[in-house]
Amino acid sequence: MKFSSLADGLDGRLLLVSRDLRHAVEATPIAPTLLDALQRWDEVAPLLKARYDALNAGALPEARPFDPRACAAPLPRSPQWCDGSAFLNHGRLMEQAFNTPPIPEFDTVPVMYQGASDDFLGPHQDVPLPDEDHGIDFEGEFGVVVANVPMGVSPRDALGHIRLVVQLNDWSLRAFGPREMKTGFGFLQAKPSTSFAPVAVTPDEIGEHWHDGRVHLRLHVEWNERWFGHPHGGEMNFGFGDLIAHAARTRRLSAGTIVGSGTVSNVDRHAGSACIAERRVIEMIDEGKARTPFMQFGDRVRMTARDEAGGAPFGSIEQQVVRAPRGVEEIANEAANEAASEAASEAPRS
């Protein structure tokens, strides 16, 4: 099945999307939101599947053309968002460029951080950020959405708890990363809201391209309408079973939890990259310094996972980075500074 969420309220309004992404129909008679469907999956999945089959057969007169621009993230908010770093090539390039010591057990224990999950962005929403000097970067990834997962689940059994596969852009602000990593507490300011492609799919929808707990598709990335990379998702060193088991080692995961792959990265340099930071470290290694700048306001990024025939099961992420509206506190401080400056200029001189 293929799901999307109309931008309507905190959790959106659930749609079923046809296999060719051309039509959609509301699933609200069965489940009002995707989060609700995930929490009641065993009860509602057969009903959703019957409606999905009818949609693909053209048997639902209430179906309408699918408009991804009207969509929020498939899950506009989630109980939990855990992002791994399963493509070890990415981490090794960073270590080589910055001459940092290897992360202990990097090859055997997944690296993972817990990000914000209360404000995901839809596929065509502008991305508001406060400052170009923060090192604005995109990061193309795949992810999975799970059912309830018991604590201590094995990697093999963890695969049975996957309900949906998603494509995402885990935005990063690189200027904050080094300091936050040194604290030992992980990312916070370095990780603004994550964006998602419009369609979440059950694993069977990508067929042969889903096996070994990996998405065997190329992620095509364009920055300002120019090719940036098309790395292959099958090169994950840790599969999603490993990542889920790592997250659930000491706690349960609730239905709707999203687990990310980390930046898709390939050893073959001809595949390009899925984030600017990786291209920059390759430049540092090969040429002695980074040449590629980070993003500026007005820049656009497009990401589409495609199969060999050009099919795009998740649809596309296509977004523009914009300056965030100034906050009330910033405006008040600016006004206070102006008032103080005027008062000082008007004060009598002795």
**Interval 171-200: pLDDT, tens:** 999 999 888 888 888 899 999 999 999 999
Structure tokens at 280: 């920059």
DSSP per-residue string spanning 117-173: -S-PBPTT--EEES-GGGTEE-BEEEEEEES-B-TT--HHHHGGGEEEEEEEE--EE
CA 147 – CA 44 distance, rounded (Å)? 13
- Average of pLDDT values for 51-77? 98
**What pLDDT is recorded for position 350?**
41
- Average of pLDDT values for 269-289? 95
**Per-residue pLDDT reduced to its tens digit, 202-225:** 999 999 999 999 999 999 999 999
- Average of pLDDT values for 243-249? 98
**What pLDDT is recorded for position 93?**
87
Contact predicate 253/262, CB 8 Å? no
Q: Is the pLDDT at 339 greater than 80, yes or no?
A: no
pLDDT band at 349 (very low <50, low <70, confident <90, very high): very low
- Average of pLDDT values for 285-291? 93
**Per-residue pLDDT reduced to its tens digit, 119-173:** 999 999 999 999 999 999 999 999 999 999 999 999 999 999 999 999 999 999 9
Q: Kindly state which CATH superfamily the domain 74-329 is placed in.
A: Fumarylacetoacetase-like, C-terminal domain (3.90.850.10)
CA 84 – CA 335 distance, rounded (Å)? 43
**What pLDDT is recorded for position 94?**
80
Vertex 84, ends 157 and 278: CA angle to 5°?
Answer: 145
CB atoms within 10 A of CB 19: 16
- Average of pLDDT values for 62-83? 98
Q: Give domain limits for the chain.
A: 2-69, 74-329
**148 vs 105, which has greater pLDDT?**
148
**What pLDDT is recorded for position 295?**
98
